[in-house]
Amino acid sequence: MTTFSAGAPGSLVLDAEALYRELLRGVRSLRSPETRLAGIASGGAWLAERLQKDLGLDGAAGVLSSAMHRDDFAQRGLAASAQTQLPFDVNGADVLVLDDVLYTGRTLRAVLNELYDYGRPARVRLAVLVDRGGRELPVQADFAAARVALPASQSLALARTDSGNFHFQVKEV
């Protein structure tokens, strides 16, 4: 895992494709033949979709939406993000949740609530492309390709080109 820190807005340079290759390596070491992939909409879902293909797994990866369980639902309302789609039985499953950036842990809390609406998995683990610290809940990733220190005034999100290549966007919030 690599650790980075950012200075001025836009000065952080992260190679998302190189971090994806590191995530692929980490997911290979975490998964068993019974593991099911589920990505958090949208960046995590993109990662899960590509990992499913690159790992040669049959079927589609799951998509988890945090929209219905967010603690800021009253302010945000329903986002235009994808709806939850789980093409596997959650009961007794070994689920590996994927996300692009782990920050406060609030999205993950909402996604876990959503996942349990579909059943009771045997195990749930988390793999992320980037852990940026700043946790507000006791949550940690089982695998993070990189750790990045960013000021609270900046957000980091995975973006994808039309050809499917990943890159990051750093924005002032």
Q: Judging by DSSP bridges, how do beta strands 123-131 and 62-64 pair with one another?
A: unpaired
Question: Where is 17: in which H helix or E strand?
Answer: helix 16-30
The mean of the pLDDT values for the chain is 90
**Residue bearing the bigger pLDDT, 70 or 135:** 135
The pLDDT of residue 64 is 97
> Rounded to whole angstroms, how far apart are CA atoms 116 and 20?
28
In the chain, what are the domains? 13-74+81-172 (3.40.50.2020)
| pLDDT per position as a tens digit, 113-165 | 999 999 999 999 999 999 999 999 999 999 999 999 999 999 999 999 999 99
| pLDDT per position as a tens digit, 3-27 | 554 544 545 578 999 999 999 999 9
Residue pair 39/107 in contact (Cβ under 8 Å)? The answer is no
The pLDDT of residue 1 is 58
- Given a cut of 80, is residue 96 above it in pLDDT? yes
Q: Kindly indicate the confidence band of residue 2, based on its pLDDT and cuts at 50, 70 and 90.
A: low
Amino acid at 92: G
Please compute the mean of the pLDDT values over residues 56-78 and round it to a whole number. Answer: 80
Give which of 47, 49, 52 is closest to 127, Cα–Cα: 47
The pLDDT of residue 143 is 98
Tokens standing for residue 60 = 């589609």
Q: Kindly indicate the confidence band of residue 173, based on its pLDDT and cuts at 50, 70 and 90.
A: confident
- Given a cut of 70, is residue 78 above it in pLDDT? no
